[in-house]
Amino acid sequence: MFINHYHLQHLKVVYEEWLNDQFFWREGWFFAAANLQAAFGKKDINGVYIGKNGCLIEKYQETNFEQEQVNENTGYLSKFLNYAVKHYGKDHVHCMMLPSKAGALPDSLPVFAGPFDTGKVLKGLKDSLDEPDVLLDAGEILKKHQKEYIYYRTDHHWTTLGAYYAWTQFAEAAGLPVKELEHYQRETVFTEFYGTTYNKAHIKVKPDSVELFHNSGEKGINVDMDDGKLVAGSIYFPEEAAKGFNKYNVFFSKNTFKIVVTTEAGTGKSLLFVKDSFANCFVPFLTEDYDQIIMVDYRYGKVPVKDIMEQYKDITDVLVMFNTEKFMQNTKLSKLADIGKGETGMKKFNPDDFLK
């Protein structure tokens, strides 16, 4: 049978429509099955606890971690922190380890569940530091405020309010003025946010809202991503975030290796901020106290930390911030321990193999 060009085009359209139908029903059945399980009382779906008040909480257990990797990461981080203390002084170096949602909101867990115990890892890290007091465990202050909206219901990140409470802990430790909530002009930019945890479980819950805390540090700000690849006059990117599902991207629009934020704070202080994505909504609280914030995320690059410290000779302070569980899983931290010049033979980075 002869098939002309018209028939081929028609068949192509029919085939694409069939694929779309299959995809739609596959997603529909997945959503329906997850909610049916929830209706019958199941409290753990696809590695996500169905917590109280519609709070979806990532489940961590021993099998999620490789002990060798955890030990390596602890060594990398302690080596860097010990070096930074010698270089900048112990009063100018801090490390904040953040709990997962289960650790910060234990009262929201189902009755049979409990948070993964990271205490041994934090103790091991603290014991390896020359100045143990540089390590700040944000778990206690966050648990103190767990009845408040400090973590997104549908995402693994904390909210800006959660970041604020952790910032007060850091500010006190760093000798910075602690500002009350009333100091900030709060703005809700999104009210229909469904995050990464929702995309694992597909349980029907109330969507999240995303809030900004405005302050005087936003005046005259400049943001430079990856040495000029993107330059902006704000740390907020609401238009870009609105285009995708991840509304948390309103903070800096994405994760990347290096972001330099320049402010008009006029304090003479410059901060090297080694971080993961939890830090993105934490940075606004720093803009009134530091003239420059050099953000470095080692999931996305492999420049030795010593090279960065030599490039920015005006650094006065160092802050490291990691979610503890994500830190334990991170396979890209060797350059954080590279406090000598040159390469160390690190394998080529593949961003797809790390859970953001």
pLDDT one digit per residue (tens) for the chain, 356 residues: 444 544 545 544 444 444 444 444 444 434 444 444 444 344 678 899 999 999 999 999 999 999 999 999 999 999 999 999 999 999 999 999 999 999 999 999 998 888 999 999 999 999 999 999 999 999 999 999 999 999 999 999 999 999 999 999 999 999 999 999 999 999 999 999 999 999 998 888 999 999 999 999 999 999 999 999 999 999 999 999 999 999 999 999 999 999 999 999 999 999 999 999 999 999 999 999 999 999 999 999 999 999 999 999 999 999 999 999 999 999 999 999 999 744 333 333 333 333 33
Tokens 């394998």 correspond to 347
Beta strand extents in the chain (DSSP E only): 44-45, 48-50, 56-58, 93-98, 135-137, 185-193, 208-214, 222-225, 230-232, 258-262, 270-275, 292-296, 317-323
* Distance spanning both ends of the chain, measured CA to CA: 52
Evaluate whether 113 touches 49 at the Cβ level (below 8 Å): yes
Domain positions in the chain are: 43-342
Nearest to 272 by CA among 308, 237, 231: 308
Question: Quick one: pLDDT at residue 43?
Answer: 60
Q: Which amino acid is at 133?
A: D
Nearest to 315 by CA among 261, 272, 275: 272
Evaluate whether 320 touches 94 at the Cβ level (below 8 Å): yes
Diameter of the chain measured on Cα atoms: 82
Distance of CA 196 to the CA centre of its chain: 12
Partners of 318 in the β-ladder: 93, 272
Evaluate whether 297 touches 257 at the Cβ level (below 8 Å): yes
Question: Quick one: pLDDT at residue 201?
Answer: 87
Instruction: Give me the DSSP letters along 25-48.
Output: HHHHHHHHHHHHHHHTT--EETTE
Nearest to 84 by CA among 316, 276, 269, 290: 316
Question: Quick one: pLDDT at residue 5?
Answer: 46
Question: Quick one: pLDDT at residue 143?
Answer: 97
Nearest to 157 by CA among 51, 287, 276, 260: 276
Question: Quick one: pLDDT at residue 202?
Answer: 87
Nearest to 213 by CA among 280, 298, 126, 114: 280
Neighbours of 240 (CB within 10 A): 13
Question: Quick one: pLDDT at residue 191?
Answer: 98
